[in-house]
Structure 1
Amino acid sequence: MRTRLSLYNTGSAMLLQIINMIINLILPRVIALEYGSVANGLVNSIRQFVQYFSVVEGGLAFAAVYALYKPLADKDQDRINRILSGANRLYNYSGLIFSGLVLLGTFVYPVFVHEEGISPLAMGMLVLIIGSQGALEFFAIGKYKALFTADQKSYVISLINAMGVTLNSVIIIVLARLHLDIVLVWLFSMASYIIRTLAYILYARLHYKELNFKAEPDFRALDKRWDSLILQILGAVTIGTPVLVTSFMCGLAESSVYVVYNMVFASVLAILSTFNNGLSAIFGDMLVKNETEVFQRAYRQYEYLYYALMGWAYACAAILIMPFIRVYTRDMTDVNYIRPEIGLLFVLYGLLYNAKTPQGMLVISAGLYRETKYQTLAQAIINIVVSVALAPGLGIAGVLLGSVVSNLYRTIDLVIFIPRVLTRLPVMMTVRRLVRMFALLVLSIWPPLQYLHMMEKSPDGYLGWLLWAIPTGLWCLFVFALGNVIMERRTAQDILLRVRWMFTQRRKA
């Protein structure tokens, strides 16, 4: 059953991420061409600015999901209702705080960001509109997402979100092509968020008929919310620092450059996130049921596959990033987007950011928020200090170096912490896998970059780039598949047996 749910969650997440990847490729280009690179940088920096405020929702979500694991496993409907009732009240309180922060940001943001051609009023209105979209997460959606996630139904969230982002993007693209004012474009895009909210409510009423949000609230079950909130705040600081430091210290045009490169690596992250979708709840279910051996075996196989997939994805990105940027920005001439050093720094940043994902997921599964908050605080401080110190002299490269250093620290910390506290597996197992991944990555990218000079090539359009991408992907797949099977054959055999068993069960069903 867990394997089947994992397949549902992974398949739907893959659909969502493919849609997101396509949209993330189209939208920044449409905005940059219709309104300019400065407007593109503005919209994305405001999104990041508002994202800081929305971390309150994330803290509640993690705590609610963790609290729901056991009552869902026990089918204790009364406890489920009491936890969700408490979560609902806290979401409403947090929504009021979020709305107040957005209103404050409406007046504060234009004070710190000045660009010709964009009025302070337009900036403030965009903060208000984008913030209003986020407010729906608190007042209507959050409690349902927590329930679906804890019940191992992440596929529902993925499918509803896929519908929502598609509709949102269609509205923005059509109105932008009609040359409507950018503020009005984002105002009308609110319709997609309202429809998405109604979809969550309808699904919950059809499939969870015994839900009662007016039950006596159980706030004690949500006692981890403050620790998870702190973790979310610090995580948002770490992720959001590059865009905001670039916007405030380097300008919105440079922020647009960052956004374009980040768009590519967000697509890589989306591929990796697809692999992880729903696994946090599955591992959490194993932990509350004390299935230690099952948990350890599943985690060993998951980590093995994840690092292989991650290495392959970033090897392809390192080879193909600059040819893609040359095609993508061919008509965007108001800013210099061709910067190979930025592309390689993004690869390094992405590798270190994702290297700690398996361990970070277990922090959520086991509810280890309090135990990890000081390490996360240290990561955020390192990121801010290094980025702010290097940005004036090195620009975007300095900002990325701050992210590289902070994620290197956090990866080392979690690789040591999780085996000692939770998995009880050898630390060297993970270290060997990481070393192997980096070695295979260098082996796969060295020939194309050194002898084919891929960084300097410019394909003839997207089809030409795709014709380069296919053999590149196959070459990197060959290197990583062969290297991982040869160097860790036993785990590869265990995974193959699991896949065979899964298909056998499906045929019987």
Structure 2
Amino acid sequence: MTESRVKKSILNARVNLIFYFLSLGLSFFSRKIFLENLGADFIGLSGTLVNILGFLSLAEMGIGTAVAYNLFKPLQEKDTEKINDIISVLGFLYKKIGIFIFIAALIISGFLPFIFKETIIPIGIIYFAFFSILFSSLCSYFINYKQILLTADQKNYLVTKYLQSALLLKTIIQIIIAYTLQNYYLWIALEIIAATLSCVLLNWKINKEYTWLKVSISRGKEAYPKNMQIITHTKQIFIHKFKDFLLSQSDQILIFAFVSLKMVAYYGNYTLITAKISQIFLTAIDGFSASIGNLVAEGDKNKIMKIFWEVYCINSFIASFLVFALYHLLEPFIFLWLGEEYILEHTILILLLINIFIMETRKTVDMFNGAYGLFADTWAAWTEGSINIIVTIIAALHWGIIGILLGKIVSLFFIIVLWKPIYLFKVGLHEKISIYWKGVLKYLIVFIVSFLIIHIFTTILPINPKSSFIDWILYATITIPLFSIIYIYGLYLLCPGVKSLLQRIPFINKYIKP
């Protein structure tokens, strides 16, 4: 069973990384083409509409997460009848949610002329973009709901293959349209075409992969009363989903409300870079959640604690690497890529990186809380959301984007940094929380010391990363490996989970003492 989990995780990571590198260069190239030929206002509009409709997707209430959790055991036991029932229930519930989202979107569409009254974009384009994005969103509820089985079964690489292929093809054609025709309608229409194509291909593959899968809305309606535990978990998860939206998906809406539509696009340049850099690591660990769910289901406490610190080591390295690299390289890259006018205040970068560090290091605790089904602390989500809203409104009125980021950081600190680990160790792992804080403190000290050492070194390094892309690459080639070497060595000396993790790497294993 363990070998199967490892193989599936490796396969997921391999496929995700392939598509990551295929899309990385295309993303930055397309962003520049879109900004130059379609304008910052249109790109800002597109991002804002995606986030408005993302707000409606909160009607999903976390049902997908609850279903994935409830699939772990029947998948392990190969109970195909139970799996069919659960997926059918998901289809039954998603149909209701999809109808609700469609009606709510129709109501919101009546207010679009007032929401975007100050934009230079024609109202016809705004409506066409709105309903095209809505169509793509509704596909998840009416057609693509069966993909949850692939995710729970650690076969997310199949989802990646088909969805990312459609996305890459769409982006290439959009680049051609933007550069040659500057036609907003054709550019938007590709959203509908790509969504339809990915739906057809993905469902064909699911039916081929699981020949025994026989799901229907009518079966879901009948099986619904027997699977009320899904609703119980959903009620607990919903407020967490709502809070997560406020913290991670509402930035562009808030920037539009408190600053401007154009600034949505400027800030979007930063988040595009941070998202793409984060994605390379996320793709490598994306299959861990299902694997951890299966591990917890087996119930070996010693193995669970060992894996906890190994996963924390991975996430801590990712967070530290991202913060160091982005702090030293993001602004010079934007300067070379788009121009000096697209660089925001340096304080915004610092706050953005603090937020990234917290969001990356939290993932280990989140994965294990999810594996244990620990969603009952709904008060924490209410508290986190309330702190975020209050601080954001007050601070954003005075400081704009800086205030929005401050609201996120303050709320994350009290709930994600302080409370969530306590909840996991007390209710899930049944261990003393002091074990966690001692381990985390060691990781934090190693990061700060490593960062300061190499940062001081950069002040005497006779290379200006803003001079040219060659100098930027040379600067990165020198500083990032140095930071990584010092940081990893510090982790090896002081931090839990590092040695056992390194022992999993064949060519390193022989040099590590057990």
**TM-score in terms of structure 1 length:** 0.91
Q: Which residue of 2 aligns with 1:323?
A: 332
Cα-to-partner distance string for 1:424-471 (whole Å, 9 max, x where unaligned) = 3443343344334443333344355556459x9453443432222222
Q: Aligned match of 1:310 in 316, 319, 325?
A: 319
Q: Which residue of 2 aligns with 1:11?
A: 14
Cα-to-partner distance string for 1:275-312 (whole Å, 9 max, x where unaligned) = 43111111111222323332222112111222123212
Q: Which residue of 1 aligns with 2:493?
A: 486
**1:503/1:312 CA distance change after superposition, 3 Å:** same
| Mapping of residues 325-344 of structure 1, within 5 Å | 325-330=334-339, 333=341, 336-344=342-350
Give the whole-Å Cα distance in 2 for the aligned partners of 1:193 and 1:98: 17
How big is the shift at 1:475? 1.4
**Could you tell me whether the CA contact under 8 Å between 2:358 and 2:417 is conserved in 1?**
yes
Give the whole-Å Cα distance in 2 for the aligned partners of 1:27 and 1:100: 33
Give the whole-Å Cα distance in 2 for the aligned partners of 1:441 and 1:407: 20
Q: Which residue of 1 aligns with 2:471?
A: 464
Q: Aligned match of 2:291 in 245, 270, 282?
A: 282
How big is the shift at 1:16? 3.6
Give the whole-Å Cα distance in 2 for the aligned partners of 1:383 and 1:114: 28
1:474 and 2:476 are equivalent in the alignment: no
Q: Which residue of 1 aligns with 2:230?
A: 222
1:394 and 2:399 are equivalent in the alignment: yes
**Could you tell me whether the CA contact under 8 Å between 2:332 and 2:466 is conserved in 1?**
yes
How big is the shift at 1:71? 1.1
**1:417/1:93 CA distance change after superposition, 3 Å:** same
**Could you tell me whether the CA contact under 8 Å between 1:56 and 1:233 is conserved in 2?**
no
**Could you tell me whether the CA contact under 8 Å between 2:109 and 2:127 is conserved in 1?**
yes
**1:503/1:54 CA distance change after superposition, 3 Å:** farther
| Mapping of residues 158-237 of structure 1, within 5 Å | 158-214=160-216, 215=219, 216-218=222-224, 219-223=227-231, 224-237=233-246
Q: Which amino acid aligns with 2:250?
A: T
Q: Which residue of 2 aligns with 1:52?
A: 55
Q: Which residue of 2 aligns with 1:98?
A: 101
**Could you tell me whether the CA contact under 8 Å between 1:66 and 1:367 is conserved in 2?**
yes
Q: Which residue of 2 aligns with 1:507?
A: none
Comparing 391-400 and 441-450, the one that deviates more: 441-450
| Mapping of residues 342-381 of structure 1, within 5 Å | 342-369=348-375, 371-381=376-386
Give the whole-Å Cα distance in 2 for the aligned partners of 1:7 and 1:77: 25
- Please give the secondary structure, in 2, of the residue aligned with 1:118: coil
**1:398/1:159 CA distance change after superposition, 3 Å:** same
**Could you tell me whether the CA contact under 8 Å between 2:503 and 2:509 is conserved in 1?**
no
Give the whole-Å Cα distance in 1 for the aligned partners of 2:424 and 2:20: 28
Cα-to-partner distance string for 1:137-182 (whole Å, 9 max, x where unaligned) = 111112x221011112122122222212211211221111123332
Q: Which residue of 2 aligns with 1:497?
A: 503
Give the whole-Å Cα distance in 1 for the aligned partners of 2:406 and 2:397: 13
Give the whole-Å Cα distance in 2 for the aligned partners of 1:426 and 1:11: 36
**Could you tell me whether the CA contact under 8 Å between 1:27 and 1:169 is conserved in 2?**
yes
Give the whole-Å Cα distance in 2 for the aligned partners of 1:300 and 1:449: 28
- Please give the secondary structure, in 1, of the residue aligned with 2:349: helix
Comparing 78-87 and 268-277, the one that deviates more: 268-277
Q: Which amino acid aligns with 2:333?
A: F
How big is the shift at 1:361? 1.8
Q: Which amino acid aligns with 1:230?
A: I
Q: Aligned match of 2:452 in 446, 456, 460?
A: 446
Q: Indicate the RMSD between aligned Cα atoms, in angstroms.
A: 2.5
**Could you tell me whether the CA contact under 8 Å between 1:444 and 1:475 is conserved in 2?**
no
- Please give the secondary structure, in 2, of the residue aligned with 1:31: helix
Cα-to-partner distance string for 1:374-430 (whole Å, 9 max, x where unaligned) = 212221222222112111221211111111111112221112211111123443343
Comparing 229-238 and 169-178, the one that deviates more: 229-238
**Could you tell me whether the CA contact under 8 Å between 1:83 and 1:221 is conserved in 2?**
no
How big is the shift at 1:209? 0.6
Q: Which residue of 2 aligns with 1:248?
A: 257
Give the whole-Å Cα distance in 1 for the aligned partners of 2:63 and 2:23: 25
**Could you tell me whether the CA contact under 8 Å between 1:241 and 1:383 is conserved in 2?**
no
Give the whole-Å Cα distance in 2 for the aligned partners of 1:391 and 1:171: 38
Cα-to-partner distance string for 1:351-371 (whole Å, 9 max, x where unaligned) = 1222211111223222222x1
Q: Which residue of 2 aligns with 1:385?
A: 390
**Could you tell me whether the CA contact under 8 Å between 2:38 and 2:182 is conserved in 1?**
no
In structure 1, runs of 5+ residues without a counterpart are 505-509
Q: Aligned match of 1:65 in 68, 83, 93?
A: 68
- Please give the secondary structure, in 2, of the residue aligned with 1:212: coil
| Mapping of residues 31-50 of structure 1, within 5 Å | 31-50=34-53
**Could you tell me whether the CA contact under 8 Å between 1:419 and 1:425 is conserved in 2?**
yes
Give the whole-Å Cα distance in 2 for the aligned partners of 1:147 and 1:446: 45
Give the whole-Å Cα distance in 1 for the aligned partners of 2:269 and 2:334: 8
Q: Which amino acid aligns with 1:468?
A: Y
- Please give the secondary structure, in 1, of the residue aligned with 2:504: helix
How big is the shift at 1:26? 3.1
Give the whole-Å Cα distance in 2 for the aligned partners of 1:329 and 1:119: 26
Q: Which amino acid aligns with 1:412?
A: L
Cα-to-partner distance string for 1:258-291 (whole Å, 9 max, x where unaligned) = 1111112212331332243111111111222323
Cα-to-partner distance string for 1:100-128 (whole Å, 9 max, x where unaligned) = 22222322244223334212332232111
- Please give the secondary structure, in 2, of the residue aligned with 1:217: helix
Aligned pairs, how many? 497
Q: Which residue of 2 aligns with 1:297?
A: 306
Cα-to-partner distance string for 1:317-369 (whole Å, 9 max, x where unaligned) = 11112111211222x85xx5242222112111111222211111223222222
Instruction: Report the identity percentage.
Output: 18
Q: Which amino acid aligns with 2:363?
A: T
Q: Which residue of 1 aligns with 2:413?
A: 408
Give the whole-Å Cα distance in 2 for the aligned partners of 1:427 and 1:164: 45
Q: Which amino acid aligns with 1:304?
A: C
- Please give the secondary structure, in 2, of the residue aligned with 1:6: helix
In structure 2, runs of 5+ residues without a counterpart are none
**1:291/1:187 CA distance change after superposition, 3 Å:** same
**1:320/1:33 CA distance change after superposition, 3 Å:** same
- Please give the secondary structure, in 2, of the residue aligned with 1:114: coil
Cα-to-partner distance string for 1:206-239 (whole Å, 9 max, x where unaligned) = 1111111134424424222232233222211221
Give the whole-Å Cα distance in 1 for the aligned partners of 2:440 and 2:116: 41
